[in-house]
Amino acid sequence: MPATSLDAGETAAVRHVVDVCATQPAGTSTVFDVLDGLQGLVGCDWVAFNWHDTPGRRLHHAQLVASGERVLASPELLDAEDDEPFWRWYWRCEPCSLPDRIAAPVTVSISDFYTAREWAQHPMFETLGGVSDELLVSFPDEPGRSRRLLFGRQGRAHFDERERFLMTLLRPHVGPLLARTLTPPRSDVVLTNRQREVLRLVQLGMANKQIARALGISTGTVRKHLENAYERLGVQSRTEAVREATLDGSPPRSSHAG
């Protein structure tokens, strides 16, 4: 099977991850659901989501799925971790530091840079627990910070083009979820009263025709209000708009006022 083709099972698994990212509220529980799906899809011993702060030499967030267990590191645990060995060798470990060195999204594995023998002799090998290969998928944040997905294999085959292809497919869906998980909803976005009215009706499950009838406007005008709201909120769908907008509990006005 070519590296860039998926069988029926893999296609279903990809669709499941996409659906979770699109429909579930942002939060560590949803991220755990995604990590579970990614672990089965990619085929690895563990998968982690970290918020990586290079200038601060620390992790601000870490959660892990391994052997069916879900682990979320508390802030106290992250503060207590002795990360000095990791940071000592960080800039000498090319796959680890690549996201900072190029300041761009990357999908890279340890085996892209080192043979098995070279990696076993690298100081970072013991620091990372003797992992045989690790696939890193980074989502850059502000300079020196990035959200990272890390897939680990212990004594198994190296990651190959199949895994890179899968993450190429899933990156646009997983990235926004990871960003929302660690960033509060944008309460500072200013929407017009009409945009809020439309979104409140969307929240009730109404279609554009029903919204147009309720507000006494055309369906084309409804679409335009939604498009403008999407642009202000930085989203691309009705579900995302409702989730990101700050909607008060007052009922929408049913009138012709615009």
- pLDDT of 141 over the 70 cut: yes
Q: Any idea which residue has 């212990």 for tokens?
A: 154
Share of residues in the chain with pLDDT > 90 (%): 58
In single-letter form, the type of residue at position 42 comes to V
C-beta separation of 246 from 233 below 8 A: no
C-beta separation of 252 from 215 below 8 A: yes
The pLDDT, as a whole number, for residue 248 is 52
pLDDT interval class at 257 (50, 70, 90) = very low
Number of residues assigned to the chain: 258
Verify that 97 and 117 share a domain, yes or no.
Answer: yes
**pTM for this model (two decimals):** 0.69
Verify that 212 and 85 share a domain, yes or no.
Answer: no
Verify that 35 and 121 share a domain, yes or no.
Answer: yes
Name residues whose C-beta falls within 8 Å of residue 233's C-beta, 6 or more positions apart in sequence: 186, 189, 191, 240, 241, 244, 245
- DSSP label at residue 192: -
d(CA 160, CA 18) in angstroms, rounded, equals 22
Total domains, the chain: 2
**252 in a domain, yes or no?**
no
For residue range 34-75, what is the model confidence (pLDDT) as tens digits?
Answer: 999 999 999 999 999 999 989 888 888 899 999 889 999 887
- pLDDT of 96 over the 60 cut: yes
- pLDDT of 253 over the 80 cut: no
Residue 51 tokens read as: 């918020």
**DSSP run (H or E) holding 76:** helix 75-80
- pLDDT of 255 over the 80 cut: no
The pLDDT, as a whole number, for residue 109 is 96
Nearest to 50 by CA among 41, 58, 40: 58
Q: Which of 3-17, 183-197, 220-234 has the lowest mean pLDDT?
A: 183-197
Cα Rg of the chain, angstroms: 22
Averaged confidence pLDDT in the chain? 87
Residue 14 tokens read as: 């990809």
Share of residues in the chain with pLDDT > 70 (%): 91
Verify that 136 and 227 share a domain, yes or no.
Answer: no
The pLDDT, as a whole number, for residue 203 is 87
**DSSP run (H or E) holding 211:** helix 208-215
The pLDDT, as a whole number, for residue 6 is 85
The pLDDT, as a whole number, for residue 252 is 39
Nearest to 222 by CA among 234, 206, 243: 206
Q: How many helices (H) and strands (E) does the chain have?
A: 12, 6
Decide which of 135, 150, 182 is a domain's last residue.
182
Q: Which of 53-67, 120-134, 228-242 has the lowest mean pLDDT?
A: 228-242
C-beta separation of 160 from 3 below 8 A: yes
Mean pLDDT of 147-166: 93
Verify that 217 and 178 share a domain, yes or no.
Answer: no
d(CA 65, CA 81) in angstroms, rounded, equals 19
**238 in a domain, yes or no?**
yes
Verify that 108 and 233 share a domain, yes or no.
Answer: no
Verify that 31 and 133 share a domain, yes or no.
Answer: yes
Mean pLDDT of 92-100: 95
The pLDDT, as a whole number, for residue 80 is 77
The pLDDT, as a whole number, for residue 3 is 54
Verify that 114 and 217 share a domain, yes or no.
Answer: no
**CATH number, position 147:** 3.30.450.40
**188 in a domain, yes or no?**
no
Verify that 170 and 198 share a domain, yes or no.
Answer: no
**106 in a domain, yes or no?**
yes
Verify that 42 and 135 share a domain, yes or no.
Answer: yes
Mean pLDDT of 219-244: 85
pLDDT interval class at 258 (50, 70, 90) = very low
For residue range 162-221, what is the model confidence (pLDDT) as tens digits?
Answer: 999 999 999 999 999 998 887 544 445 678 888 888 998 998 889 999 999 999 999 999
Nearest to 133 by CA among 113, 161, 148: 113
**CATH number, position 218:** 1.10.10.10
- Which residues span the domain enclosing 21? 8-182
